[in-house]
A and B are shown apart, each in its own frame.
Chain A
């Protein structure tokens, strides 16, 4: 036999992907289990939306198991069971998140208006028409207090992380334990701590600085732990390379280690901000909860977005106050989501490099 010189056309394919027939089979499985779930709904005691989800879960598992068993035997069938269960788990985990997002957006957007960002609540009550008053005091207050928290907690938490990973001193183990324990401290405890240790005995005044300090206490463990984790990812080789070039330890840290994890540290900071930005309890306790726009953190009460939401809900009862609550939540949610998106973007950009 001679080779015919017929030109073969090279076509890039994906032979490992399921064929049309297999995909059809999967769709069929899905439809059968859908039908089965409806049958179950009418024949058993299950009812309602939740009942239907359970019925569908059971019938989908059994149908997939039988189909896979017939196609490829027992191990494949067991495999398909685990795959299906984990898919359901994802589904269940996403429901509340999506539900919260949709609810806040759908109820909050009607309360949005420009005045929200230019007016405060000094001369308006929560039950006034929505056009009266706004969140200006809340937004500036949150910004200032989170800024104060950043200024206080950044040096402390980053140096703590460096102590844990670079110096590895005698106290590294207890410090690590304390930092982990601190991240579980209820936020109201941080507020009470500031209240009882600074506000009552020393200043006697609730203001933005106190709020910032309470937030700093909550922020330190989050930032320190995240920063420690990213610093631990740096291979020891790099530190040794720096030291072997005749550098002191801190010069190695400053010129080699920290630049190598810069984006990770920025992510740590953003996560810390996102952690405290929505804190309500400590703020209500120590910042005084101002209605008027107050840019001075050491004098007079200061508002914040969570406080605005809390108060609108608590003192309200009218259509307007409910709308205010949802609008406040929407602003807060968008802010936090924005921070997380920035964090994701920075860390994904550094992974590409």
Chain B
């Protein structure tokens, strides 16, 4: 840790003790620093949740092959970041993981996605049950405009026709876990549009949590938000990762380094997007095995 922290840091006179304090106040400069400052979670140590495994996933839109042979494990209780330049198929891949891919009329797919060992694309699978277990947070905050803040959080229960004995507790729990309780507890009857963009996104996270998913997919959840809101959501992600599996698509490599245990780099060379490399985040950012990964994470292209 000390070695890495020296790199790219202002060379002012510091004692080791001061250095530790600095760490909480300043942003380390290199991605490898950020990544290595997190202790990567070892798979299997997480208390809860089932993992997700993609096996040879291909995807098409019409005749266009957009995703080629992606095989990737998301171990239970880990945070995995999908990084790569625009158009590399990250979001498409993410949407194959809870069967939102098929919502696009021309979409096609090959391969398997195993949730708790069972293929979610197997015939006879109830797609709504899959989406209950694998929740999703979208790029743009999309609270339901016709509902209040409280109704938004609990909307999943009504939409999926679930019964919960104590909705007040669930409401508080979800908003607390999403980091919105303190700001929203006195405004539960206001319309969701009264919240700021960052608050709306945390409301959307709270809404996803209310149906108790095992896996949460996040499609660039902070790309429309300011740094302060981004910070709050990253905190939320760290807290959620105690109890669930998270897959996050991000264009912000600093963010990938800050929040994820594992990172997967995807790339398209004009054809379908492919998985180039997957590794524990600190390794991917400090010692990438593939030249293309190295070029991307060091900012040489993309």
A residues neighboring B (CB under 8 Å)? 168, 235, 237-248, 251-252, 255-256, 259-260, 262, 353
State A245–B160 Cα separation when bound (angstroms): 7
Task: Classify the secondary structure of A's interface with B.
Answer: helix
Q: Are A243 and B138 in contact, with the CB atoms below 8 A?
A: no
- 4 closest A-B pairs (Cβ-Cβ)? A246-B132, A247-B159, A259-B146, A246-B160
Contacts of A242 in B (CB 8 A): 144, 155, 159
Residues of chain B at interface, number, CB under 8 A = 29
State A25–B128 Cα separation when bound (angstroms): 69
Q: Are B144 and A260 in contact, with the CB atoms below 8 A?
A: yes
A-B contact pairs, 11 of them (CB 8 A): A237-B142, A240-B142, A241-B204, A243-B100, A244-B98, A244-B100, A245-B131, A245-B211, A246-B156, A251-B160, A259-B146
Q: Are B160 and A262 in contact, with the CB atoms below 8 A?
A: no
State A244–B138 Cα separation when bound (angstroms): 10
Q: Are B211 and A246 in contact, with the CB atoms below 8 A?
A: yes
Q: Are B160 and A237 in contact, with the CB atoms below 8 A?
A: no
Contacts of A353 in B (CB 8 A): 145, 191, 193
B114 to chain A, nearest CB (A): 19
A158 to chain B, nearest CB (A): 17
User: Across the two chains, which residue of chain A brings its CB closest to B146?
Assistant: A259
Q: Are B100 and A168 in contact, with the CB atoms below 8 A?
A: no
B residues neighboring A (CB under 8 Å)? 98, 100, 103, 105, 128-129, 131-132, 135-136, 138, 140, 142, 144-147, 155-156, 158-161, 191, 193, 204, 207-208, 211
State A318–B98 Cα separation when bound (angstroms): 76
Contacts of A248 in B (CB 8 A): 128
B158 to chain A, nearest CB (A): 6
B148 to chain A, nearest CB (A): 12
A263 to chain B, nearest CB (A): 10
Q: Are B128 and A246 in contact, with the CB atoms below 8 A?
A: yes
Contacts of A235 in B (CB 8 A): 142
A349 to chain B, nearest CB (A): 14
A166 to chain B, nearest CB (A): 12
Contacts of B103 in A (CB 8 A): 239-240, 243
State A235–B204 Cα separation when bound (angstroms): 16
Contacts of B147 in A (CB 8 A): 259
Q: Which of B142, B155, B193 contacts A255 (CB 8 A)?
A: B155
User: Across the two chains, which residue of chain B brings its CB closest to A239?
Assistant: B103
A190 to chain B, nearest CB (A): 34
User: Across the two chains, which residue of chain A brings its CB closest to B213?
Assistant: A246
User: Across the two chains, which residue of chain A brings its CB closest to B102?
Assistant: A243
Most buried by A among B131, B138, B140, B144: B144
Q: Are B105 and A256 in contact, with the CB atoms below 8 A?
A: no
Contacts of B132 in A (CB 8 A): 245-246
Q: Which of A238, A240, A255 contacts B158 (CB 8 A)?
A: A255
Q: Are A252 and B146 in contact, with the CB atoms below 8 A?
A: no
Q: Are A246 and B129 in contact, with the CB atoms below 8 A?
A: yes
Contacts of A243 in B (CB 8 A): 100, 103, 131
Q: Are A245 and B191 in contact, with the CB atoms below 8 A?
A: no
B224 to chain A, nearest CB (A): 11
Most buried by A among B145, B158, B208: B145
Contacts of A255 in B (CB 8 A): 155, 158-159
State A242–B160 Cα separation when bound (angstroms): 9
- Knowing A168-B105, A240-B103, the reply to whether A245 touches B208 (Cβ < 8 A) is yes
Contacts of B155 in A (CB 8 A): 242, 245, 255-256
Q: Which of A239, A245, A247 contacts B135 (CB 8 A)?
A: A245
Q: Are B159 and A246 in contact, with the CB atoms below 8 A?
A: yes
A118 to chain B, nearest CB (A): 43
Contacts of A251 in B (CB 8 A): 159-161
State A246–B159 Cα separation when bound (angstroms): 7
State A235–B140 Cα separation when bound (angstroms): 11
Q: Are A256 and B193 in contact, with the CB atoms below 8 A?
A: no
State A181–B135 Cα separation when bound (angstroms): 43
Q: Are B146 and A245 in contact, with the CB atoms below 8 A?
A: no
Contacts of B204 in A (CB 8 A): 241
- Knowing A168-B105, A255-B155, the reply to whether A245 touches B207 (Cβ < 8 A) is yes
Q: Are A260 and B145 in contact, with the CB atoms below 8 A?
A: yes
Given A238-B144, A239-B103; 8 other pairs, CB 8 A cutoff? A235-B142, A237-B140, A244-B98, A244-B135, A244-B208, A247-B160, A252-B159, A353-B193
State A241–B100 Cα separation when bound (angstroms): 10
State A256–B207 Cα separation when bound (angstroms): 14
State A206–B294 Cα separation when bound (angstroms): 82
Q: Which of A239, A240, A245 contacts B156 (CB 8 A)?
A: A245
State A259–B143 Cα separation when bound (angstroms): 13
State A59–B204 Cα separation when bound (angstroms): 61
Q: Which of B105, B138, B145 contacts A240 (CB 8 A)?
A: B138
